[in-house]
Amino acid sequence: MRIHSRYNQFVLSAVLGASLLLSTACTHGFAPTPKPDGTQKSIENGAQKFIEAANARLSPLGVRAARAEWVKANFITADTEMIAAEAYENYLIESVEFAKQASQFDGLELAASTRRQLEILKRAITMPAPADRALTQELTQIATRMDSNYGKAQYCPEGVDGDDCLDIIEIRAIHTESRDPDALLDVWVGWRTTSPAIRDDYRRFVELTNQGAVELGYPDTGALWRSNYDMSPDAFATEVDRLWAQVLPLYQSLHCYVRAKLSEFYGEDRVPLDAPIPAHLLGNMWAQQWSNIYDLVAPEGADPGYDLTVLLEEAGYGPLKLVESGENFFSSLGFDPLPESFWERSLFTKPRDREVVCHASAWDVDDGDDLRIKMCIEVNAEDFRTIHHELGHNYYQRAYKEQPYIFRGSANDGFHEAIGDAIALSVTPAYLVELGLLDREPPPSKDIGLLLRDALDKVAFLPFGLLVDRWRWGVFAGEISSDEYNAGWWALREKYQGIRPPNERTEDLFDPGAKYHIPGNTPYSRYFLAHILQFQFHRAMCKIAGYQGPLNRCTIYGSEEAGRRLNEMLEMGMSRPWPDALEALTGERELDATAIRDYFAPLQVWLNEQNAGRTCGW
């Protein structure tokens, strides 16, 4: 089972499923423990049989868990929650046993492929469960309860009955459209009244997963997560800091400019020029992306001359046509069409008769051709790009389906997110011309506006993409206690993002739980890495396509050579360390944020000019 998502999706790790099935293989005698006096050949045979049994048994159990989760996400009821919880409980119990069984081969000389599969089994569990079955049952019930509580959460303003309460989609719409600071404050605070109910569950969740991580030989769950990047946990933390340092000057320039423009609009009493920005004024429920306030900060005279949402509406696009456009993009690169089952089984629009988890996600239910997306599509520019992103997951999933089961995943979890986002970077005016949505490309003089809009999404997201896991690493390690969850959260948000809460936030609240990935237990570093990698991928594919010109104007639409090189990397799955996969497409073996600087170079110059004489920083 593999589920991937750009936004907020309850993710059960693919490799977690692998470890589940390996445990079953062990209990059936497929993995004899090597004896101290065993020959090298018998040791290798034992390890190989262990892996072969695992790969042979993984798929049916993974499919069972995936189907249970799909049904629960699409039909949120007490019964579906119980079914998913039971499937997940079995999943977790076996996963821990498999990871422990894989450890019997530590320190032994084995074939590279066998060794890698064993290491993947041990390090890729995102929710390590204690060996005690009763504790595992408690953990799975907590995880399912947190996920469902988030999915069903609504804010009911004072004097409003249940029928008029606001769900997350309606609240997001207010943040997108409203410029009334009091209305924005109301829904910002209101949504965060739904998360304190998760706080005690989350505290216990941390205790139980940490116990499971220790039993697997890791100091805590955060260290286990950081071990999943072909380097030590400490080295990964250092790598994240290195990449952030590369992009920090660009973010600081963007923050300085946006703060000044918001201060002009709302007044310096609401947005002081020497302090963090109030979080509710940035056009997004979590202040993670700022493009919804583009109208407030847009450069004078930089209107590109079109509004993609309007173009889509005028061209008669509906949800299905948006998806068909995404498929057409990949077809132009030489990829085969999506299977008929994709169109039959995906969820494209929000049902009227039930609650569903609407957050966009891409699913590979059977580790083969049963590919699906699940999202409540609206016809707008954001969802047009999101469709291209989610289909990137699906095409990646299909590309590596011939790998052994344990290798059916991305080179690291940032790759999966980056592929879709790299494709979305090709949604340029030149691409819209190809689709007939535009008659001609705007002149280069309009690029600053387009670049600023992109930066409000891509650059503004970087510190948020970093701090979510920074907070959890601190929580898992005990550096942020359960008595300071909120204080620790807002300290990191000020440090990295330069934002502050719009009112006092006390410790009886649980603001981290208002972001789905916290109760959904989805590691978040993948999104930070994806925002680095997508530009590196884009720069490489544009070069392969023979494009010459500003990087922000490039689309690889129609380049079969770029598609061929891309597919070569996708087909590798997890079979090689991620630097090998990176090199296959880009020719580079290190993550490199200079591609972001290349992409936004004209904007950096412009921001420097705009910020002249201002006091930047917070």
pLDDT in tens, 237-285: 999 999 999 999 999 999 999 999 999 999 999 999 999 999 999 999 9
Band of residue 2 on the pLDDT scale cut at 50, 70, 90? low
State yes or no: is 170 an active-site residue.
no
The pLDDT, as a whole number, for residue 52 is 84
Parallel, antiparallel, or unpaired: how do β-strands 2-5 and 361-364 relate? Answer: antiparallel
Q: Is residue 52 part of a domain?
A: yes
The pLDDT, as a whole number, for residue 558 is 97
State yes or no: is 97 an active-site residue.
no
For residues 508 and 485, give the distance between their C-alpha atoms in angstroms, rounded to a whole number.
Answer: 9
State yes or no: is 527 an active-site residue.
yes
The pLDDT, as a whole number, for residue 38 is 61
339 and 208 in a single domain? The answer is no
435 and 534 in a single domain? The answer is yes
State yes or no: is 255 an active-site residue.
no
399 and 546 in a single domain? The answer is yes
State yes or no: is 360 an active-site residue.
yes
Instruction: Calculate the average pLDDT of the chain.
Output: 89
Three-state secondary structure call for residue 62: helix
Q: What token pair was written down for 411?
A: 């080179």
The pLDDT, as a whole number, for residue 29 is 38
Q: Which of 389, 416, 531, 538 is catalytic?
A: 389
For residues 435 and 548, give the distance between their C-alpha atoms in angstroms, rounded to a whole number.
Answer: 21
State yes or no: is 280 an active-site residue.
no
The pLDDT, as a whole number, for residue 492 is 98
207 and 344 in a single domain? The answer is no
For residues 373 and 261, give the distance between their C-alpha atoms in angstroms, rounded to a whole number.
Answer: 38
Element of type H or E holding 324: helix 319-332
Band of residue 16 on the pLDDT scale cut at 50, 70, 90? very low
- Domain span at residue 70 reads 2-150+198-217
- The tally of domains found in the chain comes to 2
Q: Is residue 161 part of a domain?
A: no
State yes or no: is 340 an active-site residue.
no
Kindly tell me if the per-residue pLDDT of 553 is higher than 60: yes
Q: What token pair was written down for 527?
A: 């999104």
Q: Which of 4, 255, 280, 517 is catalytic?
A: 517
> What are the beta bridge partners of residue 364?
2, 371
| Total length of the chain | 618
Q: Is residue 66 part of a domain?
A: yes
Q: Is residue 600 part of a domain?
A: no
Nearest to 393 by CA among 456, 355, 342, 432: 342
Q: Which of 280, 359, 388, 416 is catalytic?
A: 359
209 and 318 in a single domain? The answer is no
The pLDDT, as a whole number, for residue 6 is 35
- List, for residues 236-247, the tens digit of each pLDDT value: 999 999 999 999
Element of type H or E holding 3: strand 2-5
Q: Which of 44, 81, 417, 494 is catalytic?
A: 417
206 and 315 in a single domain? The answer is no
The pLDDT, as a whole number, for residue 567 is 97
The pLDDT, as a whole number, for residue 4 is 56
Q: What is the arithmetic mean of pLDDT over 599-608?
A: 95
Mean pLDDT lowest for which of 5-9, 346-350, 457-461?
5-9
Kindly tell me if the per-residue pLDDT of 27 is higher than 60: no
For residues 393 and 418, give the distance between their C-alpha atoms in angstroms, rounded to a whole number.
Answer: 9
Nearest to 207 by CA among 218, 195, 217, 221: 221
Q: Is residue 606 part of a domain?
A: no
- Indicate left, alpha or beta for 301 from its phi (over 0: left) and psi (-120 to 50: alpha): left
State yes or no: is 393 an active-site residue.
yes
Three-state secondary structure call for residue 441: coil
202 and 336 in a single domain? The answer is no
Kindly tell me if the per-residue pLDDT of 56 is higher than 80: no
Q: Is residue 136 part of a domain?
A: yes
Q: What is the arithmetic mean of pLDDT over 379-386?
A: 92
348 and 213 in a single domain? The answer is no
Kindly tell me if the per-residue pLDDT of 354 is higher than 90: no
The pLDDT, as a whole number, for residue 93 is 67
The pLDDT, as a whole number, for residue 342 is 96
Beta-strand (E) ranges in 282-393?
A: 361-364, 371-374
Q: DSSP class of residue 347?
A: B
Three-state secondary structure call for residue 277: strand
Q: What token pair was written down for 371?
A: 């590919």
Q: Is residue 266 part of a domain?
A: no
The pLDDT, as a whole number, for residue 94 is 67
Predicted TM-score of the model (pTM)? 0.84
- List, for residues 428-481, the tens digit of each pLDDT value: 999 999 999 999 998 877 889 989 999 999 999 999 999 999 999 999 999 999
Q: Is 439 exposed, middle or buried (0-12, 13-18, 19+ CB in 10 A)?
A: exposed
- List, for residues 168-201, the tens digit of each pLDDT value: 889 999 999 999 999 999 999 999 999 999 999 9
Band of residue 382 on the pLDDT scale cut at 50, 70, 90? confident
The pLDDT, as a whole number, for residue 12 is 35
- Indicate left, alpha or beta for 53 from its phi (over 0: left) and psi (-120 to 50: alpha): alpha
Q: Which of 393, 416, 531, 538 is catalytic?
A: 393
- List, for residues 70-105, the tens digit of each pLDDT value: 999 888 888 998 898 788 776 666 666 777 788 788
Q: What token pair was written down for 372?
A: 């699906």
Q: Which of 69, 94, 327, 390 is catalytic?
A: 390
> What are the beta bridge partners of residue 373?
362
The pLDDT, as a whole number, for residue 597 is 93
Q: Which of 395, 485, 527, 557 is catalytic?
A: 527
- List, for residues 103-148, the tens digit of each pLDDT value: 788 888 899 999 999 888 878 788 888 989 899 999 989 998 998 8
The pLDDT, as a whole number, for residue 444 is 79
Kindly tell me if the per-residue pLDDT of 583 is higher than 50: yes
213 and 312 in a single domain? The answer is no
The pLDDT, as a whole number, for residue 88 is 73
Higher pLDDT, 446 or 222: 222
212 and 315 in a single domain? The answer is no
The pLDDT, as a whole number, for residue 14 is 33
Kindly tell me if the per-residue pLDDT of 59 is higher than 70: no
82 and 205 in a single domain? The answer is yes
Higher pLDDT, 446 or 535: 535
317 and 210 in a single domain? The answer is no
The pLDDT, as a whole number, for residue 337 is 96
Q: Is residue 601 part of a domain?
A: no
Kindly tell me if the per-residue pLDDT of 7 is higher than 50: no
